[in-house]
Structure 1
Amino acid sequence: MSDDISDVASDPRLARVLRSSLTRIADGPDGPMREMAREVLAGRTDLRTALREPAYGEHLGAAFGRFWTDFQAMSPDERDRLVKDTRQKLDEFNQ
Structure 2
Amino acid sequence: MHDSVYEIAGDPRVAKFLRTSLTALANGSDPLLQELAEGVLSGQVNLREAVASDAYGEALSSAFERFSAYYDQLDDDEKQRLTSEAAQQLDDLLDERHPKP
Q: TM-score, normalised by structure 2?
A: 0.84
Name the CA distance, whole Å, in 1 between partners of 2:29 and 2:73: 28
SS class of match (2:28): coil
Cα-to-partner distance string for 1:16-51 (whole Å, 9 max, x where unaligned): 110121122122221101111111122222001111
Q: TM-score, normalised by structure 1?
A: 0.89
Tell me the residue number matched to 2:84.
84
Which 5+ residue runs of structure 2 have no aligned equivalent? 96-101
Cα-to-partner distance string for 1:37-81 (whole Å, 9 max, x where unaligned): 111122222001111122312111111111111111111111111
Which 5+ residue runs of structure 1 have no aligned equivalent? none
Ranges of 4+ aligned residues in structure 1 off by more than 4 Å: none
Question: Which letter does structure 2 place at the counterpart of 1:18?
Answer: L
Name the CA distance, whole Å, in 2 between partners of 1:28 and 1:77: 30
Residue 57 of structure 2 corresponds to residue 53 of structure 1: no
Cα RMSD for the two superposed structures: 1.7
Taking only the aligned residue pairs, the percentage that are identical comes to 41
Deviation at 1:12, TM superposition (A): 0.5
Residue 23 of structure 2 corresponds to residue 23 of structure 1: yes
Name the CA distance, whole Å, in 1 between partners of 2:2 and 2:21: 18
Residue 72 of structure 2 corresponds to residue 72 of structure 1: yes
Tell me the residue number matched to 2:99.
none
Residue 33 of structure 2 corresponds to residue 33 of structure 1: yes
Question: Which letter does structure 2 place at the counterpart of 1:66?
Answer: R
Figure out how many residues of one structure are paired with residues of the other and give that number.
95
Cα 1:46/1:2, change in 2 over 3 Å = closer
